[in-house]
Amino acid sequence: MRARHVLGLALLTSVVSAAEVRLPTSRDLLGLPPVPVPADNPLTLEKARLGRKLFEDKRFSADGTISCAHCHKPERAFQDGLPVSEGIQGQKGTRNAPTVINAAYFTTQFWDGRR
């Protein structure tokens, strides 16, 4: 019985580990072409994990209560789906949270051309 539990746990661990290795692509998320990755700065699983930790870290907000993922929700194509975003202490912004997919390659962020 114990051997069966160990084998089952090993199988589950390998399946979870294999699932972690494949990172979602822009095409997976929105049907967009692949993000160009600089040859001198390749994407790695470690960098993706660090990025996720930083994206979910609440310490980057002004009062330490919300993370980037609060408004830029992965399950909503990294935006919040609201007409006007809600920030710290329930404050309403003046616009919605735009997607952050491919944001590293944007020359401007907002419709008015701000950087």
Q: In the predicted model, is pLDDT for residue 102 greater than 50?
A: yes
Q: In the predicted model, is pLDDT for residue 19 greater than 60?
A: no
pTM here is 0.62
Rounded to an integer, the average pLDDT of 26-30 is 64
- Provide CATH code, domain 2-105: 1.10.760.10
Query: Would you state the pLDDT for residue 32?
Result: 67
For the chain, give every domain's residue range.
2-105
What span, in angstroms and rounded, lies between the C-alpha atoms of 55 and 88? 16
Q: In the predicted model, is pLDDT for residue 79 greater than 80?
A: yes
Query: Would you state the pLDDT for residue 25?
Result: 64
3-state helix, strand, coil in the chain (%, to 5): 45, 5, 50
